[in-house]
Chain A
């Protein structure tokens, strides 16, 4: 394949919400910007698809809640409407072979356990306010908090085993991993950034309050449309060559129709092997740390930045849509919410469209369940999901029209989901490397956000923050490449 070079002032690597927001911000400021993405689509962890049966599903991030002002502003600007997540009626709890119905945030079959869980959530949420959003590693007792896991916190603050299992369900749904893998300091930061665990777990009034009519990827597509030919898809960046004030990224060119992941077999680091070289004054890497860490840098990244990329692994989640002719559970006074500790599908919501033209339940197979069921295979996973739904919502759940799974750990250009987490010790040792530029290299992505970290809103604000950083850096520098 013939190679070619492109020049621009700023190259953005990653065309998810974060990268597109950064590029749009720069383009609007008159900066010549290119955005590159390995895939043949924009959106990153936001991925809307029409299924073979004609249903629109969000395979990735899909919700918008109060105080997500960047996201709300973008939706309003692009004319994308939202509608409330269906919450009328009761949720279902499956536990220890029994089935219970409940109202509100938390299952109440064990009232003592539920009260214990709520008291613990409040304690966590209040403690989170002591963790500075821009520098969690400077929190009072940061080292002690970062030396603990969330699991060890639960061990000492929960008296009820029942509360523990319910909170673990919430943790796995939010982070895609169990409390044993989460730094307590990181958890408190994350809760503060999203308004608290109660807020993150809630539908109405919380992070899962509303959805986008037609899916969330439209917002990414809207941003990409404004950027037009500045967006280069099918260009997986593999190498980064940088000096004090310039950077070149080397990418493959993947023909339309070919899978970028399937063609990722070239291990030669020679720049001549990259058909596309983009030269710029600055680069923004708008993706999770683990993806940044997979690129080859010359010279190598500073040790702390590289270590950070190793110490913020992605969660593991398979998002499952189970689609029915109609939302039949509503006729039974159920709102589609499921909490099923110990089941393969531990949490689920009603994900039917606003007009209820068909029914849909969306659920999450997360953490170790996600990893275990990858080994068991999709058929076993789907069978386990349908068993849980049948127990929760009755025999009608046994015969869906379609089951759509998005197994994020196997996504070559995401590597897991819904978010990267910080392991114990990482934030205090390496946190300052999260956003600190390395020469002309800047870091964006929702993991770098100080508000709504891990969410679509955080992705947008992180892109704008990185773009502002670049605009500041370019001030006073000579225009153009030497």
Chain B
């Protein structure tokens, strides 16, 4: 079980890496989105924005109308942000779920995989 502070710290590291990754910034070109995260074990809520090919800081709580809703266990999110967990494995097992349009889900899926591989 990961605390809010742990999640924010892991995300901050992931964000720094991702925003400096040319492959990832290219993958989000022209794709400004609001993404809500919900942890099913601790009930935490976060909001991430992608604007101008950059990931925003993670805001606590759900803000705005989401394009994609990501649901999973807090520890898995933490491990994913630290680059210790292959998100593909969790999607395939259904332990992390993505809700959104087909294109948006496809893009989040690919971005998280590339972020993992490039970490």
Contact = CB atoms under 8 A, between A and B. Distances in A.
Given A129-B103, A196-B106, A118 B92 contact: no
Contacts of B23: 115-116, 119
Contacts of B118: 111-112, 115
A205 B110 CA distance: 14
B89 A119 contact: no
B38 to A, nearest CB: 20
B110 A198 contact: yes
Closest 5 CB pairs between A and B?
A: A104-B88, A122-B110, A115-B117, A204-B92, A111-B117
B64 to A, nearest CB: 23
Contacts of B117: 108, 111-112, 114-115, 118
A118 B103 contact: no
Contacts of B27: 119, 122
Contacts of A119: 23, 26-27, 110, 114
Contacts of B106: 122, 125-126, 196, 198
Contacts of A87: 92
A125 B113 CA distance: 15
B56 interface: no
A104 B92 contact: yes
Given A105-B92, A122-B107, A205-B94, 17 more contacts: A103-B89, A104-B88, A104-B92, A104-B113, A108-B86, A111-B117, A115-B23, A115-B118, A116-B23, A118-B114, A119-B114, A122-B27, A126-B103, A126-B106, A195-B102, A196-B102, A198-B110
Nearest to A90: B89
A121 interface: yes
B87 to A, nearest CB: 8
Interface of B: 23, 26-27, 86, 88-89, 91-94, 102-103, 106-107, 109-111, 113-114, 117-118
5 contacts: A104-B86, A104-B113, A105-B113, A108-B117, A126-B103
Contacts of B113: 104-106, 115, 118
A126 B86 contact: no
Contacts of A112: 117-118
Nearest to B87: A104
A105 B117 CA distance: 12
Contacts of A115: 23, 113-114, 117-118
A178 interface: no
A387 interface: no
A333 B102 CA distance: 32
Nearest to A123: B27
A274 B44 CA distance: 74
A451 to B, nearest CB: 13
A116 B118 CA distance: 10
Contacts of B111: 122
B46 to A, nearest CB: 24
Q: Which of A112, A119, A195, A196 has the most CB of B within 10 A?
A: A119
Contacts of A198: 106, 109-110
Contacts of A230: none
